[in-house]
Amino acid sequence: MDLLSLLSLILLLILLLILPVVIFFFFFHKQKTLQKKSPYPPGPLSLPFIGNLHQLHHNAATHIYLWKLSKKHGPLMSMRLGSVPLLVVSSTKIATQVLKTNDLSFCSRPKVLGQYKISYNASDIAFTPYSQSWRELRKICVLHLLSSKQLHSFGPVREEEVFRMIKNLSAFSDKAAVANLSVTVLSLISTMICRMAFGKMSDDVDEESRKRRFDELMIESQAMLGGFFFSDYMPLFGWVDKLSGMIDRLDKVCKDLDEFFEALIDENLVRTRVKSVTNYNPNILDLLIQLKEDESSSIDLTWDNVKATLMDIFVAGTDTGTATIVWTMTALMQNPTAMKKLQKEIRDLIGGKGKVNEDDIPNIPYLKAVIKEALRLYPPAPLLLRQTLEKLNIEGYTIPPKTSIFINAWAIARDPEYWENPNEFSPERFLNSDAADVTGQDFRVIPFGSGRRGCPGMAMGLAMVELAVANLVYSFDWELPNGMKEEDIDSQVLPGLTMYKKIPLCLVPKTYNYTP
C-alpha cells in the first residue's frame, strides 16, 4: 500500500470516528436551541434517531422510572420515542387539565402496530383513534353489553365460579399445601370472562379444551399488544421487525384469534335456532350478534367490530381483574392488621353461612376501602395512553397534534401533595367523608382512567374483584410458606401494559371454621 492510500485510509477512519460525535452534538445543540425558542415542556436529553427509547425499552417498571425523571424535569415532561413526540403527565393538576378540561383534545389513541392488528385494524373500543364510529361503538358497550342490567344478570356466573375456586382451594387447606394464588385467580377471572362473553357449552370436555385454548391465546395476545416494534417509532427500520420474527409472530396470533372467534360465532349462530326465548339469558356475544342484525341500530356493526370488541373484553377484563385481586391479597398479607380487620367485618356479617354472596357486598364498607387502596397503590394500568387531536396549550406550553401522552396513574396516586403517607397501605383513608373516588371523577386516583377513554367495564370489573376478595378473606386464614416473612413479599412487576406481579403470590390457606 502506498503512502497516499495509507493516508486516505487513516483519514477515513478518523472521519468514521468523529462523525457520530459531530452528529450527536448537532442534535444536542438543536434540541437545546428549540427548547429555548419554543414553549415546549422540559425533559431529558434525547439521542439522535432513537430519542429516549434506550431509557424505556426493556424497563419493566417504566412508570417508576418516569416518575423519577419527573422529579427532575417536572410533572409535565417531554420525551421522544424515535420519531414520536411524547408527553408524560405525573400530577393531579395536569391530569385534570388533560382528562377533564381538554378531554376532547386528548381523547385519541396513537396507532401502535401490535394493538392495531390485534384489534382488527382498529375496529374496537380500547385502541381505536377517536371518531364517530368509535363513539357509536362505545355507546353500544355502555348501554347494552356492560349495562347495570347485564351486570346484574351475570351475578350467578360470578358467584358460581368464585365458590368453585374456594372449593378447589380447600383441597390445599386439607393438605396444608402452598397454593399459587396468582395462577388460581387468573384461572378464575378468565373463566368468568369466557362464560359472560360466550356462555357455557354443554360438553364439559370441549369447554375445558376451549378454555385452555383461550388462555394460550390471551398470553400471546398480551405479549403482542405490549410488544416492541421498530416500525412504531422508527419507520425506516421496520424491516427489523420482519427479520426478528415479530411480524410473523403477530400475524400468527391474529390468525389464531380470528379462527377462535369464528368458531365461537358459528357455534352461537347454531345455538340461536334452538334457544328458549323465555329462559335464555344472552351472553355478550349474543348481544353483539343481535345488534349486528338489528337494521335500526345507529351503527353498521361488522364482524370485525364484533370480534375486536370480544378481544377487548377478554384481554382488558382478564388483565385488570386478575392483577387487582392479586395485588389486594398481596397488600393484605403485608399488612396483617388490615387483614384481621377485614376478616372480622366479613365474618361478623356472614356468620356461618359459608360464603359471601353479591347481595352482601354493599354491607362490607371496609372491603370496598381495601380494594380502593389497592387500586391506588397498584393501578392495573399504571400508564394511561392518549394522543392529541389538535394543537393546544397546557401550562403555557404548546402541544402539537398527534403527540402521544403517558398519564402516570401510578405516580399521581402517590403524590404527597394530595396523599398523607402516600406509600403506606391505609384503607381507612377511603372511609373518610372527603375520600377520593376511584371511578374517574376524582383525579387524585384514576385506576380506570377518566373521560371519554375511561374504562366502560369498570363496574363489571369491580364486581368480580369484590366478590373474589370477600370470599378469599372470609373462607381462609392465610399464611406465608415456611421460612417466609411479611417483608419478603416483593412488589416487583412484569413488563407489559398491565401491572402484573413478577413473582407469583404463593400462600397457604387454612379453612376458617365458624364458631357462634
Q: 122 vs 141, 354, 384, CA distance in Å?
A: 16, 46, 18
Give 187-250 as a 3 state SS string: HHHHHHHHHHHHCCCCCHHHHHHHHHHHHHHHHHHHHHHCCCCHHHHCHHHCHHHHHHCHHHHH
CB atoms within 10 A of CB 93: 15
The closest alpha carbon to 411, from 439, 379, 385, 388, belongs to 379
CA dihedral angle for residue 499, residue 504, residue 509, residue 514, rounded to 10 degrees: 0
Q: What CA–CA distance (Å, rounded) separates 238 from 232?
A: 8
CA dihedral angle for residue 220, residue 223, residue 226, residue 229, rounded to 10 degrees: -100
Contact call for residues 349 and 360 (beta carbons, < 8 A): yes
Query: Which residues are bridge partners to 479 per DSSP?
Result: 508
Q: What CA–CA distance (Å, rounded) separates 70 from 406?
A: 12
Q: What CA–CA distance (Å, rounded) separates 471 from 479?
A: 16
Residue 294 in grid coordinates: 338489528
CB atoms within 10 A of CB 350: 20
CA dihedral angle for residue 64, residue 67, residue 69, residue 72, rounded to 10 degrees: -140
107 is in an annotated binding site: no
Q: What CA–CA distance (Å, rounded) separates 272 from 330?
A: 43
Distance of CA 362 to the CA centre of its chain: 26
Residue 267 in grid coordinates: 357455534
Q: What CA–CA distance (Å, rounded) separates 72 from 382?
A: 20
Residue 385 in grid coordinates: 395512553
Residue 92 in grid coordinates: 393531579
Q: What CA–CA distance (Å, rounded) separates 174 from 91?
A: 48
* Angle of the 204-225 helix axis to the 181-198 helix axis, nearest 10: 110
Q: What CA–CA distance (Å, rounded) separates 327 from 334?
A: 10
Distance of CA 45 to the CA centre of its chain: 29
Contact call for residues 224 and 249 (beta carbons, < 8 A): yes
Place of cell 470516528: 17
| Binding site residue list | 455
| Binding site residue list for heme | 455
